[in-house]
Chains A and B, each alone.
Chain A
Amino acid sequence: MITTGAKFYFGLGFLLLVAAVLYGWTSGGVDWGLFPGHLGDLYFEMLGALTLGYKGAVGDHLGYGLLLGAAASSTTVGSFMVAFRDAEDKPLAEVAGLRTAPPLQRVVSSNVWATISAFAVAVIALGVAISRWFVLAGVVLLVIAALEWTIYAWADRATGDPDLNANLRDKIMNPIEIPLFGAIVAAFIALSISRLFLAIPRLSATWLFLGVAAVIFATAIGLSLLPKVPQAAMGGLLALAAIAVLVIGIVGAVNGAREFHHESEEFTVEGTGGPTELYVYGQVPTTTGASEQHGHSEEKGK
C-alpha cells in the first residue's frame, strides 16, 4: 500500500522526473548528425532526455540534472515513508513491541553544548575568511562540543532516573573535563597576566601586583567575615575577575612588550667574525644589521 506521505514524495518525484524529460527534450541540444535520416522525428528528439543523455543529447544540462537529482532525492524519501508505513502509530507499536507507540522522549537536562557547537561553526566560518588559526580553534572546539553532546545524548537516555543519568555523565566526563578546564583556566590566567607583566615597566609591575595581591587578600578576608555569601554574588565576582583578566591580557598584548635592555644587548658569537646575530625578546634570530633590529624593537615598545 502506498501511504499518504509516500504519495506526496513519490508524486513529487514522478512530477520532477517528467519535468526533467520534458525540460531535457524541449531545451534543445539534439545532435541530428547522430541520427541521419530521422530529422524531426519526435522519438529521436526525446531519446537523449529519456536515456539520461546516454543516447542522444539533452538541452540544458544543469536544469536537467537538477530535476533528475531532485526526483531521485524525493523518491528516496518516499521509499522510506512507504517502508515505515508513514510511521503511523500501529506499525511503530509493532516495531517497539508495545500496544501503542512510545512518544518522543523529552530532553530534560540543560546543556550548552549545542550552543557551543554552533559557536564553534561560527569560529570556523570566521577563520575561513580571516585566519586558519581560527579554523583550527573552531575545529578543536567543535570536536570537544560534539563529544560532550554525544555523551549527554547517551546519558539522557541511560536509565529512567534523570539524577542517576546526570551522575553517570559526570562520572565519565568529570575526570576529563575538570583537568582540561583547569588547564585552560591556568593557561588563560598565565597568558593574560604575562602580557600585562611584559607590557608595563618592571618596577610598576612589582608594585601593581603587590597591590592586586593585597586587594585579593582583603576581598577574601571580607568575604570570609560575611555570614553567608549568595552563590550568584560569588559567580558574578568571579565573572568580573575573569573579564578583568581578559581585558588586561588584551590590552597588554595590544601594547606589546616593553624593551628588555639586558636581553637586547648585542653580542657577537665569538670567533665567527661574520655578521652579528641578534637576539631580541620575541623576535626570531636574524642576521640583519644590529641598528635596524634594535630600532624595530623600540618601535614595538612604543
Chain B
Amino acid sequence: MTVTESKPETVVPDPGITPAQPPLPPEPAKGFAGILGTADHKTVGRLYVGVSLLFLTAFLVTSMLVKAEGMQQDSLQFLNVATIFEVQTLSQIGVVFLGLMPAFLGLALFVVPLQVGSPTIAFPRAAAASFWGWLLGAGLLVASYLGNGGPVGANIEMVKLFFVAFAMVIVSLGLASVCVITTVATARAEGMNLLRVPLFSWSMLVAGSMWLLHSAALLANLLIVSIDTTHGQVLYGDPANRWIQLTWIFAQPAVLCLALPLLGVFGDAAIVATRIRPARYGVSLGAIGAVGALSFGAYAQTAFHPGLITEALFVLQSLAVVLPLLVLLGGIGDSVRRGRLRVTSAFLVSLAGMLLLLGAAVAGGLYAIEPLNLGFTVWGAGVANAATAAAIAGVAAGLFHWGSKIWGHRVAEPIGKLVFLVVLGGGVLYAAGELIAGANGQLPVLPDGSVENLAANAELGALLSTVGCGLLAAGTLLVILAVLPAALRRGPKADADPWGGQTLEWTTSSPPHPANFLDPVPEVRSPSPLLDLREGTSKEIV
C-alpha cells in the first residue's frame, strides 16, 4: 500500500443532505486481549458493574464486622483495637468508591448511550481508561491497607500509597462521569431535547455533575493531606487530623448525592410498570435536579468548622431536600393511580430505595434541628446508612430493569421480589441501629477504637446495624445470583423489549449490536418515543 497524498480529515459538508450511514463496524475482538483493548462502552459498562458488585459485597461484609464489634462494648470479637478504625475507613471508602459509584457509572456507561440513541459513548477510550485506572487504583488502595497504611497506619510509605491510590480511584470515576455527562449533553438522537431525555440519563447528568464537584473538593483535601503527610505532618498530615478531613464525603448532605441515580432508575422503572405516558415530565426532571443541587456538600467540612450543623444554610438545605423527593414520589404515585400497575422487581426494589432515601432526608432534617441535640452523635451515621442502602437498592433495581438488555438473557425476576424485602429490611435496620444510638447521644468511634459517651442501649443499636448490614450484603449477593446466569449467557434469551418500554434502549436487540442500533433511530417527539411509535403519534408532546 502506498500513501500518495493527504486528504481532508472529514467529508466536505454539503448542506441539505443527511450524513451517509457509515458501514457497519466489525465485531469487537474477543477474549482477554479484546477486553484489554476494548473501546466498546457496553463491555466497559459490564466490567464496571461486575467488579463493583464483588467489591460492594466484600465491603458490606467488612462493614458488618465493624458494626458487630459494637455489640459487646467491653470486648472485641473479630478485630483488634489497632485495626478496627482502619477497617471502618476501608469499608466506608470501599462501599462508596469501589462499590456504589462505579456500579452506577457502569450501568450508565452501558445504558445512557442506548437511551439517548447514540451508537457509542463520548470519549470511548477514556471510558475504558477510567475502568482500568479505577481497578488498578482500587487494588493499590486495598494493598495500602494490607501493608499497614490507610489514612492512619504505621507504615508511612503505605499511608502515602493510600492517598495516591484513593486519588487515582477518584480521578478515574471522574473521568467516567465526564464521558457519561458529555454523552447526555451532546450525543442525543434527533428531536431529543433535554426535556425529553430519559429520567435515568438525566439523573446521571445531574449526579455526574455533582460527583465531579465533590470529587474535585475531595481531591483538594487529599492533595493537601498527602503533601503534609510527606513533609513534616505539621497540621493537615498529622495522623489525628488526616481522616477527619475526608469524612464530609460520607456525611450529610454530600452522601445523599450518592443515591441520585436511584431517582432516574425509579422513574424509568415506574414508567414501565405503570404502562402509561408520564405526566408532568418536566416536574420530574426538575425534582431530580433540585435533589442534586440540594445535596451539594463540599462546603460542609465539619473538620474545619465544627459548628457547621447549626448554620442556617445547613439547616435550610437539610429540610429543603425532602420537598423535591416528595414531589417525585407524588408524581409517580399519580401515575400508579392512573395507570395499570405491573409490579416488576425493578419497580419494587427502586421503590424501597426511594423510601429509604426519603427516610434519610427526613432523618437528615431532624439532624439539623438544634434543639433535638442530635448533632455530633451517630445519628449522622444513620442518615448516611439510609442513603447508602438507598443507593444499593438503586443499583439492584437498575440491574433488574436493564439486566436482560446488558447480558441478553433474562434476569431471574422472582429473586427481585426477595431482594425488595431483604434490601428494604436491611436498609431500615442498618439506619435504625445508628439512629437509635444517636438519639441516645452516642458519639462516633475514635481513631484509637474507643467510643466516648456510650449510649445506654448502644449494643442494641449495634445489633440492629449489624443485622441490617448483613441483610444488605445478602441482598447484594442475591442480585449477583439473579444476574449471574444471564451474565454467563445461560437461561432463556431476552427479547429486545421485555417490558413494553417507552425509551430508545428498548428498540435494539438484547444484547445490543456492537453499533448499538442496526435500524435508524426514530425521531424523538416526546419522552416516550416507543409509545409514540406504538400509538402512531406524530405531534410533538413536550
Contacts and interface: CB of A to CB of B under 8 A. Distances in A.
Contact of B140 (A22, A74, A100, A122): A122
Interface stretch (A123-131, A174-182, A195-203): A123-131
B223 to A, nearest CB: 12
A101 interface: yes
Contact of B19 (A19, A100, A108, A125): A100
Nearest to A127: B164
Contacts of B457: none
B308 A60 contact: yes
A103 B521 CA distance: 11
A16 B13 contact: no
Interface in B98-124: 113, 118-122, 124
A105 interface: yes
Contacts of B113: 104
Interface in B252-298: 285, 289, 292-293, 296, 298
A89 B361 CA distance: 38
Contact of B188 (A22, A87, A117, A171): A87
Chain A interface, >50% SS class: helix
B418 to A, nearest CB: 37
A209 B304 CA distance: 66
- Categorize the interface residue count of chain B: 35 or more
Contacts of A67: 299
B34 A130 contact: no
B191 A89 contact: yes
A16 B214 CA distance: 14
Contacts of B193: 3-4, 86, 88
A122 B137 contact: yes
Interface residues of A, number: 73
A134 B33 CA distance: 25
A26 interface: yes
Nearest to A129: B161
A101 B14 CA distance: 12
B308 A111 contact: no
A227 B18 CA distance: 53
Interface of B: 1, 3, 7, 9-11, 13-19, 22-23, 25-26, 28-29, 33-34, 36-39, 113, 118-122, 124-126, 128-133, 135-137, 139-140, 144, 157-158, 160-161, 164-165, 167-168, 172, 183, 185-195, 205-206, 209, 213, 217, 285, 289, 292-293, 296, 298-301, 304-305, 308, 311-313, 316-317, 514-515
21 contacts: A22-B312, A60-B304, A60-B308, A60-B311, A62-B305, A63-B299, A63-B301, A87-B188, A103-B19, A107-B124, A107-B125, A108-B26, A111-B37, A113-B125, A114-B125, A114-B128, A114-B132, A126-B161, A129-B164, A130-B161, A157-B10
